[in-house]
């Protein structure tokens, strides 16, 4: 196969080893003479997968047993609903949200169905070109919700505020890409399909002590406590995405963990941003200080060069470079598995335009 340089924003590139091992598991899992796809999720072989998939997240994030790890269906979008259902008080519920893009706005829209929502900061009026920083979140809120990386606009929170309430973060597009003090968060969620596995499963990391306090009668399937009680097997989990996510996380752990991934991600982003800043034909959509290490969203300033540029990157074997349909332009997603060489190919195309 002539492998492309895959800059797709998600589902996206994963380590080649993950593709190979997942393919093998579909044919014959652990040498048991059965496919991963045809065994019970209650079989000892799959229970071992789930146990390790939960344990490795805590090791990588350096979290203690105050936290539980869940693999759930429904995408990150379901977490827009599960978070307020589980955390917003049934009486006079009130939450603070930071509006940094379409996904944050989606979370806000759902939360409003459960109680009162204050948007404590928003960059919507400026096309989400920066991350608001000037706000305070007091104890009157049940929780604060933010989005660590804004996949469409290419902005990223470099620091997180100190808040006087629970801290909830959608890390869908930069999970495991950089070192953070993960214990500053009470609940983290991430659709797997951007940096930790295939589509079909969502990671939730939650501090146990925050649950069971909303006063709501939560349907079991939406109740984190029920999923915890059943060790992430309340219902049939998405077995293949969980297994492929485990392989991706094992690959990360065996290659220096998050710290080493961060160093590689910084090198890739530096290479591309330096070219964007040097080349008068390109500019990013967002303010410099908020530039994402994961999604580099940029535009061409001379539209007459569009056809030449598009032909050049396609000829160079690049795939998935088109920007999100809502803002156009280009987006180079530099997820953990993307090699530096792929960024160099793109930079060479930009240099020669
Ligand atoms: C930051 C962020 N949050 C949420 C979502 C929605 O994820 P899902 O499609 O898994 O519901 C996305 C999808 O791109 C995203 O980038």
pLDDT at 289 over 90: yes
What φ, ψ does residue 93 adopt, rounded to 5°? -60, 140
Please give the average per-residue pLDDT across 64-90, as a whole number. Answer: 98
Sequential DSSP letters for 120-183 = EEE-GGGTT-S--------TTSSEEEEESEETTTTEE-SS----SSEEEEE-TTTTTSS---GG
Does residue 324 sit in helix, strand or coil? coil
User: Does pTM top 0.95 for this prediction?
Assistant: yes
**Phi/psi-derived region of residue 119, left when phi > 0, alpha when psi is between -120 and 50, beta in every other case:** beta
Residue with CA nearest ligand 1 atom 10: 75
Q: Which residues 6+ apart lie within 8 Å of 196 measured at CB?
A: 175, 176, 190, 203, 245, 248, 249
Please give the average per-residue pLDDT across 205-224, as a whole number. Answer: 98
Active-site annotation holds for 174? no
Residue where the block lists tokens 């530039």 = 291
User: Which of 103, 174, 290, 313 is an active site residue?
Assistant: 103
Q: Which atom of ligand 1 is nearest to the CA of 9?
A: 14
pLDDT in tens, 129-152: 999 999 999 999 999 999 999 999
Summary mean pLDDT of the chain: 97
User: Which of 170, 186, 223, 290 is an active site residue?
Assistant: 170
**With contact defined as beta carbons under 8 Å apart, do 101 and 135 qualify?**
no
- Cα–Cα distances in Å, from 253 out to 53, 59, 240, 249? 12, 9, 20, 6
Active-site annotation holds for 170? yes
103 lines ligand 1 (CB under 6 A): yes
CA distance 218 to 214: 9
Q: Quote the ligand 1 centre to 104 CA distance (angstroms).
A: 9
pLDDT at 1 over 90: no
pLDDT in tens, 232-244: 999 999 999 999 9
151 lines ligand 1 (CB under 6 A): yes
Active-site annotation holds for 194? yes
pLDDT at 167 over 90: yes
Please give the average per-residue pLDDT across 158-183, as a whole number. Answer: 98
pLDDT in tens, 11-39: 999 999 999 999 999 999 999 999 999 99
77 lines ligand 1 (CB under 6 A): yes
The distance of Cα 17 from the centroid of its chain, to the nearest Å, equals 21
Count the residues in the chain.
Answer: 353
Please give the average per-residue pLDDT across 298-313, as a whole number. Answer: 97
Please give the average per-residue pLDDT across 273-278, as a whole number. Answer: 98
Please give the average per-residue pLDDT across 68-84, as a whole number. Answer: 98
Model pLDDT, residue 2: 85
Model pLDDT, residue 264: 98
Model pLDDT, residue 84: 98
As a whole-number percent, the residues of the chain with pLDDT over 90 amount to: 99
As a whole-number percent, the residues of the chain with pLDDT over 70 amount to: 100
């Amino acid at each position: 196969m002539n492998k492309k340089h895959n800059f797709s924003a998600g589902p996206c590139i994963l380590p080649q080893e993950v593709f190979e091992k997942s393919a093998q598991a579909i044919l014959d899992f652990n040498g048991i003479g059965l496919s991963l796809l045809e065994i019970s999720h209650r079989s000892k072989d799959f229970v071992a997968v789930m146990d390790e998939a939960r344990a490795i997240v805590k090791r990588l994030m350096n979290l203690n047993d105050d936290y539980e790890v869940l693999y759930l269906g429904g995408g990150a979008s379901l977490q827009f609903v599960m978070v307020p259902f589980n955390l917003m008080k049934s009486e006079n519920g009130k939450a603070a949200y930071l509006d940094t893009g379409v996904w944050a706005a989606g979370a806000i829209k759902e939360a409003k169905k459960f109680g009162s929502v204050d948007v404590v900061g928003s960059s919507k009026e400026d096309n989400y070109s920066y991350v608001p920083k000037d706000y305070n979140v007091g104890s009157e809120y049940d929780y604060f919700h933010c989005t660590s990386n804004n996949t469409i606009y290419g902005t990223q929170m470099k620091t997180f505020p100190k808040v006087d309430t629970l801290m909830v973060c959608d890390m869908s597009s930069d999970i495991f890409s950089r070192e953070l003090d993960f214990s500053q968060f009470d609940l983290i969620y991430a659709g797997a399909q951007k940096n930790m596995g295939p589509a079909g499963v969502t990671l939730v990391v939650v501090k146990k002590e925050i649950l069971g306090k909303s006063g709501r009668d939560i349907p079991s399937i939406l109740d984190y406590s029920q999923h915890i009680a059943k060790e992430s097997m309340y219902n049939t989990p998405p077995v293949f995405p969980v297994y492929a996510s485990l392989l991706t996380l094992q690959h990360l752990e065996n290659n220096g963990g998050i710290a080493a991934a961060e160093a590689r991600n910084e090198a890739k982003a530096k290479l591309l941003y330096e070219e964007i800043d040097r080349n008068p034909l390109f500019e990013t959509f967002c303010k410099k200080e908020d530039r994402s290490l994961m999604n580099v969203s940029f535009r061409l300033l001379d539209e007459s060069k569009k056809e030449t540029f598009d032909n050049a990157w396609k000829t160079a074997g690049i795939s998935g470079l088109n920007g999100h349909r809502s803002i156009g332009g280009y987006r180079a997603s530099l997820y953990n598995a993307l090699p530096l060489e792929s960024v160099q190919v793109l930079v060479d195309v930009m240099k020669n335009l």
